Amino acid sequence: MMTLALILLTPGTPAEIVARIENLYRGRTAHAIARMEIQTEAWHRTLKLEMWSRGRDTARIVILAPPKERGVTTLQLGDVIWNYIPRLRRRIKITEGMLAESWMGSHFTYDDMVKETRIESLYVFRILERRGDTLVLAGLPREDAPVVWGKIVYTLLESSLVPLRVDYYDEEGDLARVMTFSDVRKVKDRRIPFRLRLRPADRDEYTEVVYEKLELDVPIPSRMFSPQALGD
């Protein structure tokens, strides 16, 4: 499946627009049910997820199915991220160096799933192109910023700020992966794509997330985000 002031802000600058996109699936709180389909060259599997978030710094993702992974939980509390593995009955702390690793064998990283990195503050964004209602923004890393990508390019509809595509380039300038968005629906005051597909540029693979339910600004008990409640 990002600060409240940024969510409520009417974006104008390229950085504000990117912040809005990065925060699109989060409100003051958010609750969602989604299906994640992972297709690699060797295998295919589907996960069912339940997700909760509060603002930008707190999130919980629980795998509901298949039975083998049921109960596996990722919990974000500020800069601290935990994984809970039910069959081991243990919590594993995700270090900063692990944020770029695959989440549950998908093409999404831990950072993608919890949005720990503030992309809008680590990159300098500018308008690259306007084509009718389509706006293209390009971001390059700030000097000494601890980032994975050498460039990020966002393509969106300027009138609604609905994202269409995000291209991620490596440090050599080669296209590394592409995220596309579709099936746009209205949730409260936002237009949100309910289908996201992430594919590596060098392989015929993908991971697709399809939201079955998405609620914003709903009551969520604080205990949902307690490390002591992992496994509940």
The stretches of the chain forming alpha helices (DSSP H) are: 4-8, 14-22, 110-114, 119-122
What is the mean pLDDT of the segment spanning 60-66? Answer: 96
- The rounded percent of the chain whose pLDDT value lies above 70 is 94
Tell me what the pLDDT averaged over the chain comes to. 91
Which residues are 190's β-sheet partners? 187
* Other C-beta atoms lying within 10 Å of the C-beta of residue 75: 24
Query: Using CA atoms, how far apart are residues 103 and 147, in angstroms rounded to an integer?
Result: 18
Residue type, 209: V
Residues 4-14 have a mean pLDDT of 53
Closest to 143 measured CA to CA, from 128, 127, 125, 123 = 123
Half-sphere exposure of residue 130: CA atoms within 13 angstroms, side-chain side: 7
Q: What are phi and psi of 223, to 5 degrees?
A: -65, -20
What local confidence, expressed as pLDDT, does residue 4 receive? 33
Homologous superfamily (CATH) of 4-213 is Lipoprotein localisation LolA/LolB/LppX (2.50.20.10)
Domain extent listing, the chain: 4-213
Would the pLDDT of 232 be above 70?
no
pLDDT of 58: 93
pTM above 0.85, yes or no: yes
